[in-house]
Amino acid sequence: MAERPYIVGNWKMNGTRAMLSEARAIDRAAQRYMKVEVAVAPPYTLIHAVHKEAEQIGVGAQDCHPGVEGAHTGDINASMIADAGAKFVILGHSERRQGHGESNELINAKIESALEAGLRVILCCGETLETRDAGDAESFVLNQIKAALPLFGEPAERLTIAYEPIWAIGTGRTATSEDIEAMHRSIRELLNETYGEEASAAVRILYGGSVKPDNAPEILATPEVGGALVGGASLSAETFLGIVVGASESEEA
């Protein structure tokens, strides 16, 4: 694949200023693995501080409100996170869809607002175990993406897709290489149809769900896997960097 592998740490609701030393360690080490694009998405409260530490890694947010500024107590919009130093935003994560009832429609609006603010977007998709067992995983995931894509007025180059089967998130279970490859190929076909093959090639499709240093090499070597969205294992520089090293080696292989 033309683009470098993209390894993104999603810190979720973890991290106080004490975590800045981990961010610094990740950043310094990432400078040794230039064949890999490394990024972290800390909680809102740490975006600016991590941005100030970061010389090499990208810094992003885990969500944003779709609106402009105004009377939305407790919310933070795309231009605010961009102002804090974020370069990208993760949208449509299953924990937002399930825990906050986010619909594809809302995610679509968030994507538009993020692109408008100049951010890159990581759009998450993924099915439940019931959906997979019913044989509907592929159509479910493609529908999630299609529901967000029609209003994209932007070139594909600011888009990343993260396929994260819900049953693999934080559970220690990962999908098989065959399942990952099949889903990523279907997503690629959809992107080819939507953007044309040349523009689609700029869109990396990440895998997420219990990615760890020991399973990362196999996952990252799977065709059409352009990187990983990493939750739990991104909270320590040591384990996160273990995944970055795996990605770097897969580039050399």
The site for ligand PGA (CB under 6 A) is made up of: 10, 164, 169-170, 208-211, 229-233
Residue of closest CB approach to ligand PGA: 231
Measured from the CB atom, is 62 or 186 closer to ligand PGA?
62
Q: In angstroms, what is the minimal distance from the CB of 92 to ligand PGA? A: 11
Q: In angstroms, what is the minimal distance from the CB of 231 to ligand PGA? A: 2
- The partner residues of 6 in beta bridges, in order of sequence, read 37, 227
Give CA separation, 54 vs 47, 80, 196, 209, in Å: 10, 19, 35, 25
Give CA separation, 101 vs 9, 68, 154, 168, in Å: 23, 21, 26, 20
CB atoms within 10 A of CB 67: 14
Q: In angstroms, what is the minimal distance from the CB of 234 to ligand PGA? A: 7
Whether 93 sits among the annotated catalytic residues: the reply is: yes
Q: Residues 37, 102, 112, 164: which is the catalytic one? A: 164
Measured from the CB atom, is 10 or 108 closer to ligand PGA?
10
CB atoms within 10 A of CB 101: 8
For 71, residues 6+ apart whose C-beta sits below 8 A from its C-beta are none
| Rounded-to-integer distance, Cα 15 and Cα 234, Å | 11
Measured from the CB atom, is 66 or 208 closer to ligand PGA?
208
Q: In angstroms, what is the minimal distance from the CB of 95 to ligand PGA? A: 7
Q: Residues 93, 95, 112, 184: which is the catalytic one? A: 93
- The partner residues of 99 in beta bridges, in order of sequence, read none
* C-beta separation of 227 from 210 below 8 A: no
Whether 238 sits among the annotated catalytic residues: the reply is: no
Measured from the CB atom, is 5 or 231 closer to ligand PGA?
231
Show which residues are catalytic. Answer: 93, 164
